[in-house]
């Protein structure tokens, strides 16, 4: 079984994809599906379904994004007439039938595979440290955390060395049917304390404390710490004045002086994650779910 689809982008032609067996009873005219296109994933609308195999190799539809068609047969016929009459692409004509924001934007999520990888440049080392601390992140999230850097230039060698893996994804649609919105706590209440370090905004002082706290001996060299945390020595001096750490002037090693509980509390304060923590605690108190 095969399907002809119109990508949600300005392409002059439609494309043919194989329909996997487990999707045979789900794919129909007018449905929005997820398909691989070049190196990314794209949303597309099914314009035709047929049985005869084409004379060329095809990729397979990855997923059905909505169990209900997003355009009716009448809308599909109108889009085909518009495309033929006004010499437009079918994709552009179908776009006139869709509410703004219903399609999904392609993005890339990056996974760190080698936490101890020794990168060549300071920016690459900051990127490795960020992924080690925060887990998988999208390109947009990395840009926000490493603003004013050219982190994408440092990404190529990390991908080639298989220290980082790039995963193409589709972001959630910007518009949804009107409904009652319910927020669910996505982890057991007793694990809230484990995610405290990930709450709030980016803070270089918090990064320094977190990098030190994750070292087996709660200490590391000054040069390695500055690289991993993406900061300058002034940040170290500020934390030393606050008696949060100690810099040995002879060995140039930095030692964390706080207990685990004190470190967590200071990181939370520096990242100003109290609002997010209060939300998680409120959800836990409400049994794990609450309406907005």
Indicate the pairing of strand 2-7 with strand 40-50.
antiparallel
Question: Mean of the per-residue pLDDT values for the chain?
Answer: 89
pLDDT in tens, 192-205: 887 878 888 989 99
Query: What pLDDT is attached to residue 211?
Result: 93
Check if the beta carbon of residue 110 is closer than 8 Å to that of residue 167: yes
pLDDT in tens, 93-147: 988 888 776 666 668 889 999 999 999 899 999 999 999 999 999 998 999 999 8
3 state DSSP class of 216: coil
Say what percent of the chain tops pLDDT 90.
58
pLDDT in tens, 207-243: 999 999 999 999 999 999 999 999 999 999 999 999 9
pLDDT at 32 over 60: yes
Query: What pLDDT is attached to residue 42?
Result: 87
What are the C-alpha distances in Å from 56 to residues 16, 53, 241, 264?
A: 9, 8, 68, 57
Q: Helix, strand, coil: what percent of the chain each, to 5? A: 40, 20, 40
Pick the more confident residue, 173 or 98: 98
Neighbours of 89 (CB within 10 A): 18
The model's pTM is 0.50
Using pLDDT thresholds of 50, 70 and 90, give the confidence band for residue 148: confident
Say what percent of the chain tops pLDDT 70.
95
Query: What pLDDT is attached to residue 6?
Result: 92
Question: For the chain, how big is the Rg over CA atoms in Å?
Answer: 25
Query: What pLDDT is attached to residue 173?
Result: 63
Query: What pLDDT is attached to residue 104?
Result: 61
pLDDT at 274 over 70: yes
User: Nearest 10 degrees: CA dihedral of 275, 276, 279, 285?
Assistant: -110
Distance between CA 8 and CA 47 in Å, rounded? Answer: 12
Question: CA torsion sign, 22 to 28 to 32 to 35?
Answer: positive
């Amino acid at each position: 079984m095969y399907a002809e689809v119109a990508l949600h982008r300005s392409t002059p032609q439609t494309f043919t994809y194989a329909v996997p067996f487990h999707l045979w009873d789900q794919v129909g005219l007018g449905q929005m599906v997820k398909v691989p296109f070049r190196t990314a994933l794209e949303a597309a609308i099914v314009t035709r379904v047929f049985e005869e195999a084409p004379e060329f190799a095809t990729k397979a539809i990855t997923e059905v994004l909505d169990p209900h068609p997003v355009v009716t047969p009448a809308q599909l016929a109108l889009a085909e007439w518009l495309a033929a009459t006004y010499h437009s692409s079918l994709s552009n004509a179908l776009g006139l039938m869709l509410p703004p924001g219903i399609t999904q934007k392609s993005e890339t999520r990056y996974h760190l595979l080698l936490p101890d990888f020794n990168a060549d440049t300071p920016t690459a080392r900051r990127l490795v440290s960020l992924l080690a601390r925060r887990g998988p992140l999208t390109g947009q999230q990395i840009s926000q955390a490493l603003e004013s850097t050219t982190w994408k230039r440092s990404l190529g060698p990390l991908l080639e060395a298989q220290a980082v893996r790039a995963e193409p994804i589709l972001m959630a649609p910007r518009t949804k049917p009107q409904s009652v919105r319910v927020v669910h706590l996505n982890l057991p209440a007793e694990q809230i304390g484990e995610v405290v370090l990930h709450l709030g905004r980016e803070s270089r002082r918090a990064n320094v404390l977190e990098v030190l706290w994750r070292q087996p001996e709660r200490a590391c060299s000054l040069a390695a710490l500055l690289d991993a945390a993406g900061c300058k020595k002034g940040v170290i001096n500020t934390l030393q004045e606050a008696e949060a750490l100690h810099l040995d002037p002879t060995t140039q090693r930095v030692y964390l002086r706080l207990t685990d509980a004190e470190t967590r509390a200071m990181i939370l304060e520096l990242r100003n994650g109290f609002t997010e923590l209060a939300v998680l605690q409120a959800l836990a108190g409400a049994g794990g779910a609450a309406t907005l």
